[in-house]
Amino acid sequence: MPPKALPLHFEWGFATASYQIEGAVAEGGRGPSIWDTFCHLSPSRTKGADGDVACDHYHRYEEDLDLLQRYGAKAYRFSISWSRIIPLGGRDDPLNEEGIAFYNRLIDGLLARGITPWATLYHWDLPQGLHDRYGGWLDVEESQRDFERYARVCYERFGDRVKRWITLNEPWIQAVFGYSTGVNAPGRSSTNEEAAEGDSATEPWIAGKALIMSHARAVAAYNKEFRPTQQGQIGISLNGDYYEPWDGADPRDIEAVERRMQFHIGWFANPIFLQQDYPECMREQLGDRLPALSASDFTILRAADCDFYGMNYYTSQFARHRDEPPSDTDFKGNVDELFENKQGEVVGELSGIEWLRSCPELFRKHLTRVYRLYGKPVYITENGCPCPGEDRMTKEESVEDPFRIKYFEDHLDAIGRSVSEDESVVAGYFAWSLLDNLEWAAGYGPRFGVTFTNYETLERTPKKSALLLQNLIADRIIKG
């Protein structure tokens, strides 16, 4: 019988992102984002897919809120489209009242159904106006000031009802996939043949600092000016796999494991949660390419204490050291990432997408490591998977999703073991995702949703996992 180790007031629900579900990209005064531009490049870099309609959540949000209520969700994590609030993005640019009204309706609809709104300020959809104006995240000073103003507008307009804020979703992905590999918007890279411009040796690290300081300014502003009256909580969602050594007997692989996780998580978590410089291994490898954090930067970071660590977790890998020196475009810490170890043992069962293996025991280790390192209550702000072969399934086949149900069961049990045996503090869980939706550069192939979306009719059909998650969590909560 699984340990009943989730706390009594464990918060749980489902998560989405604005560009992946909203559609209506040219309606209601919304301005274009870098993802609008990226999805319409020719030749396509998103398998021909775009977010022009997506799941049409902008027009169907009431239906989607009804689904959340039907599923028993206590909370809903959504993201706000920056360019729907400020179409051009900048601190001196006009607001879009129609966009603000849409999110007011969404928030009020959640509260009317007894669902706690969790608002993410940035889920990768930078206003195209800022990218055109000064290069977006490549201008550290301008971007952080524009993000702070955007955050303030959201606090002012929504903070009387939104009490849970996430500043940024997965800044690692934005920095690395957007500015090193170029597989995500804005698609800049010097190693990707499809990219027209970029410098993979320098740009991800510049973007990383811009994201860290944008987060810090937004949190510092909340702490000083809004927290006293609004009494909310604020944090950030960081992604990062957990790694085991490819050869557990080789100290070089053991070191490679830690180095890889520092490049993945410590890059952002050290300055944000510890108010410390980047990990030493990053400084050693990157040198001057890693922008300095100044004394004035640390003044802001110290004023930006977070309430929680948002963890987006999907999978784990093995790390193997590399004997040759790292290239200038390496962002992994000079390691190889593998799904099998030296003995040929696989890290976990393959899901419906190549990079995602189910590794619940390593998830437990990951949770415990993060909690012990950074000392903040952890909320799992994304966790989920597509079932094997689901991208080719009919609706009737897709709604029967035993792999996803088992994935949820095993990962909830891993949380329970981390809480009960390792004394971690894990306060909530958000399944990714409420709906099958646009999976960024992978288009509309992978289906991560607990709700089947017919992309032609936009009909939603609950999968079994959606209806069972409530019971899976209730069975694990300690009563009294």
Q: What is the pLDDT of residues 242-252, one digit of tens each?
A: 999 999 999 99
* Confidence band of 479 (pLDDT split at 50, 70, 90): confident
Asked if the structure places residue 6 within a domain, the reply is no
pTM of the prediction?
Answer: 0.98
End-to-end CA distance of the chain: 19
Asked if the structure places residue 77 within a domain, the reply is yes
What percent of the chain stands above pLDDT 70?
99
Query: Among positive and negative, which fits the CA dihedral 303, 11, 448, 107?
Result: negative
Please check the confidence at residue 359 and state whether its pLDDT lies above 90: yes
For residues 149-176, average pLDDT: 99
Please check the confidence at residue 3 and state whether its pLDDT lies above 70: no
For residues 458-476, average pLDDT: 97
Counting beta carbons within 10 angstroms of the beta carbon of residue 166, is it exposed (0 to 12), middle (13 to 18) or buried (19 or more)?
Answer: buried
Q: Rounded to an integer, what distance in angstroms lies between the CA atom of residue 150 and that of residue 126? A: 11
* Confidence band of 281 (pLDDT split at 50, 70, 90): very high
pLDDT digits (tens, 9 = 90+) for 68-121: 999 999 999 999 999 999 999 999 999 999 999 999 999 999 999 999 999 999
For residues 265-290, average pLDDT: 98
Query: Among positive and negative, which fits the CA dihedral 58, 59, 63, 66?
Result: positive
For residue 462, whether the previous peptide bond is cis, meaning omega lies within 30 degrees of 0, is no
Asked if the structure places residue 243 within a domain, the reply is yes
Please check the confidence at residue 1 and state whether its pLDDT lies above 60: no
In 45-170, alpha helices (H): 57-71, 82-85, 97-112, 128-134, 140-158
For residues 169-197, average pLDDT: 98
Q: List residues with catalytic annotation.
A: 170, 382
- DSSP 3-state helix, strand, coil percentages of the chain (rounded to 5)? 45, 15, 40
- The confidence score (pLDDT) of residue 56 equals 98
Contact assessment for residue 119 and residue 158, using Cβ atoms and an 8 Å cutoff: yes
- The confidence score (pLDDT) of residue 107 equals 99
The average confidence (pLDDT) of the chain is: 97
Domain count, the chain: 1
Please check the confidence at residue 29 and state whether its pLDDT lies above 80: yes
Structure-token pair, residue 97: 């009242």
Q: Rounded to an integer, what distance in angstroms lies between the CA atom of residue 262 and that of residue 216? A: 20
- The confidence score (pLDDT) of residue 122 equals 99
pLDDT digits (tens, 9 = 90+) for 291-332: 999 999 999 999 999 999 999 999 999 999 999 999 999 999
* Full domain range(s) for residue 383: 11-475
Asked if the structure places residue 480 within a domain, the reply is no
- The confidence score (pLDDT) of residue 2 equals 52
Asked if the structure places residue 422 within a domain, the reply is yes
Asked if the structure places residue 2 within a domain, the reply is no
pLDDT digits (tens, 9 = 90+) for 210-241: 999 999 999 999 999 999 999 999 999 999 99
Asked if the structure places residue 1 within a domain, the reply is no
Q: Cβ contacts of residue 471 below 8 Å, gap of 6+?
A: none
CATH number at residue 459: 3.20.20.80
Q: Rounded to an integer, what distance in angstroms lies between the CA atom of residue 328 and that of residue 12? A: 42
Asked if the structure places residue 186 within a domain, the reply is yes
- The confidence score (pLDDT) of residue 362 equals 98
